[in-house]
Amino acid sequence: MTPEMQPIFDRVEAILRTHTKVDTVITPDVQMGADLSLDSVDMFDLVMEIEEAYDISFPIEEASSISTVGALVEAIGRRTNA
């Protein structure tokens, strides 16, 4: 993860904390399904909140291909030209 991504990671981490019940250290490699126990309904809510926060929209295919926190951060970076 590049340094420019750090602010995005920090904000994503804060949002993730409100969506997962799993109390684990969140790193870019953490799997949102396996490690944070987010199911498809949770993921939908999470993506919607992130889209709101950054005023962006992810096509469904892109959103459903994101499995790690790092990939989510990178995807936001691409959409916001961070």
Partner 1 sequence: MLDTNTGKTAMFAKFDKLSERIEGLYGNGRRPFGMLFERILSPTRGVIGGKEVLLAGTNNYLGLTFSEECTTAAKDAIDRHGTATTGSRLANGTFAEHVELEEALKAFFGAASAAVFTTGYQANLASLSALGGKGDHLLIDADSHACIYDGCRLSDAETYRFRHNSPEDLAKRLSRLPETGARLVVIEGLYSMLGDVAPVDEFVEVAHAHNAMLYVDEAHSVGCYGPTGRGVAEAQGVLDRVDFISGTFSKSFASIGGFCISRHAEFDRMRLASRPYLFTASGTPSAIAAARAALDVIAGPARLERRLWARIEQLYAGLSEAGFQPVSPPGPIMAVERPDDKLAMREWNALMDAGIYVNLMIPPATPQGKSLLRISMSAAHTEADVDRILGAFRDLRALQAT
Q: By the criterion CB under 8 A, which residues form the site for partner 1?
A: 39-41, 44, 48, 55-61
Supply the DSSP string of 59-82, one letter for each residue: -HHHHHH--BHHHHHHHHHHHHT-
Instruction: Report the nearest approach of partner 1 to the CB of residue 22 (Å).
Output: 17
Compare residues 26 and 47 and give the one whose CB is closer to partner 1: 47
Instruction: Report the nearest approach of partner 1 to the CB of residue 48 (Å).
Output: 7
Q: Name 47's Cβ contacts closer than 8 Å, sequence gap at least 6.
A: 58, 63
Instruction: Report the nearest approach of partner 1 to the CB of residue 39 (Å).
Output: 7
